[in-house]
Amino acid sequence: MKPARLIALAWCLAAVSCAGFYYRKPADEVIALKTMPSAAFDSALGAAGYGRLAVQNSPAVEAERRRLELAEGAWRLGARAFLPNVDLGASSDERIAEYGPDTFAKGLSFSITQPLWDGGRLAAARAAEKAELSLARDELGRMERETAEAAIQAYRAAASARGRVLIRREAYAAAAAEREILAAELRLGLASSLELAELDLRLAEAELEILSAELALGEAEAALAEAAGVAAAPESYELPDPDRPRVALDADDGEALAAAARARSPELRALRYELARKAAEAKAAAFAWLPTASLKAGLQLSGRDFPLTRSSWTLGLSLDFAGPYFGASIGASGGIERPGASTARTGASLRPIPDPAAPYASRRAALALSQAEDALEAASKRVARAAVSATSAYRNALRGVEVAKRSLELAEARRELVALRLALGQARRLELVKAGLERAGNELALLDAAAALLSAERALERLLDLEAGGLMNFVNIELYKYRSVVSADSRGEP
């Protein structure tokens, strides 16, 4: 070997050896991390609680709720259209003639008009308005669900980020403790400076991973605070727990959950309201040609001065036809004028070709109704397929948790084996640190698997319109009804 290379190698070894003697303990100032709370969480406010809090604090949801309340109040008062219309009037007529007598007349009138039959137009219109309100109510529910879902997802993302920070801190603390032992061994001549330098590089990498995890946690907590409408994120979280109680779903439960999803799906409910509105509109358009009938009664008092001395009353019936090719109005009335007179009046009018395009309106309404029925049927099939797929995804997520648990157990066994070999002098301490960091990686994988299981569970809950965490109660209490429905359908029973 050339002398220059020998000198350079000796200089590097000396520098590494000096680094070992100038060892500094990984103190708190090395990693400026904020204090993490314990894993214990506030059970009173978990993911579902933050979802409700987000809905409560949402200005958009509150504005939509108030708008809907006003619309429903207006619809209830719209029943006034079925009641009689009352008109009260007063008049004063003065005529000053240059040639002839002057006349002065005063009058009071009262009339009441009662629709007898309108071809079902008013009832159909109110049914359409009611369906529109149901759609608006369902839209409000959709807005609330989306607002709550954003907060739930943000909460679970923040909880996962908090769990990752805790795991990485624990792994770093274990590695730092091993570094202290290795530094002591170096001072006793039982370890090499190169081994210590490599361990320091491992600790520096772990430190960067912790800082990166903390940045992700800060972003996740900011997103949670924004989604929930609060000033700051919580101090503790319900971390993803791989050992939480599992929902027992058999392979045959996919069809039962599909039936439940078809019955409870918010999407299908909205389409049913839309179908009801289209049906009401189609009915109103189909009966637009039917005549309307109304009854009108009136009373009039007149005279030169008060008290008024003349009176009359009338009672009349009117029919109105509004067809596309002709329209007609027929009316008859009779009454008495006091003192000593009777009146009778009839009249009719014909309007040729008032609206020749009217039949197309009923056809358009019928077409819209048919399209709404097709949309509901297609969406029902899509929701059923999504429920079956979500059930399969949930069962796969359960298997993923079991695989991650087994991997963690193997990583722990490898770490214990390396520790045993180290005690027997057959392994280096750096190998133990590497095994501990690998175990931390497997623990992170288990955390991710638990989070994926929560996501799969939440996908089923959304299809079934359940609150976060409500899938287990639904499966244990209500799913049997849909199992019996599927069983009856398979046997061909009504």
Q: Could you tell me how many residues make up the chain?
A: 494
Distance CA 476, CA 256 (A): 13
Distance CA 363, CA 478 (A): 43
Distance CA 447, CA 164 (A): 8
Confidence of residue 2 (pLDDT cuts 50, 70, 90): very low
Sheet holding 292-303, edge to edge: 85-95, 103-117, 292-303, 310-322, 326-338, 341-352
Does 382 have pLDDT greater than 90?
Answer: yes
Distance CA 23, CA 16 (A): 11
Q: Determine which helix (DSSP H) or strand (DSSP E) holds 254, and give its type and residue range.
A: helix 253-264
pLDDT of res. 44? 52
- Residue type, position 398, single letter: L
Confidence of residue 192 (pLDDT cuts 50, 70, 90): confident
pLDDT of res. 301? 85
Average pLDDT over residues 122-150: 87
Nearest of 118, 54, 413, 44 to residue 290 by alpha carbon: 118
* Mean pLDDT for the chain overall: 83
Q: Which CATH number fits domain 36-83+120-239: 1.10.3720.10, 3.20.20.70, 1.20.120.530, 1.20.1600.10?
A: 1.20.1600.10
Confidence of residue 14 (pLDDT cuts 50, 70, 90): very low
Average pLDDT over residues 107-114: 89
Are the beta carbons of 348 and 319 closer than 8 angstroms?
no
Average pLDDT over residues 230-249: 82
Nearest of 217, 92, 230 to residue 160 by alpha carbon: 217
Are the beta carbons of 291 and 494 closer than 8 angstroms?
no
Average pLDDT over residues 119-143: 85
Distance CA 379, CA 267 (A): 8
SS (H, E, C) 334-371: EEEEECCEEEEEEEEEEEECCCCCHHHHHHHHHHHHHH
pLDDT of res. 6? 40
Average pLDDT over residues 261-282: 88
Distance CA 362, CA 377 (A): 23
Nearest of 430, 380, 218 to residue 421 by alpha carbon: 430
The reply to whether 243-288+323-494 shares the fold of 36-83+120-239 is yes
**If you average pLDDT over each of 265-269, 357-361, 476-480, which comes out highest?**
265-269
Q: Which of 166-180, 230-244, 409-423 has the lowest mean pLDDT?
A: 230-244
The Cα angle at residue 326 between residues 320 and 332, in degrees rounded to 5: 30
Report pTM.
Answer: 0.72
**Cis omega (within 30 of 0) on the bond before 307?**
yes
The secondary structure of 21-38 as a DSSP string is HT-----TTTS--PPPPP
Residue appearing with tokens 């067809």: 323
Confidence of residue 217 (pLDDT cuts 50, 70, 90): very high
- Residue type, position 160, single letter: S
In this predicted model, which residue has the larger pLDDT, 323 or 50?
A: 50
- Residue type, position 450, single letter: A
User: What phi, psi does 332 have (nearest 5°)?
Assistant: -145, 140
**Span 243-288+323-494 CATH architecture:** Up-down Bundle (1.20)
Does 337 have pLDDT greater than 70?
Answer: yes
Q: Structure tokens of 273?
A: 């309201």
Domain positions in the chain are: 36-83+120-239, 243-288+323-494
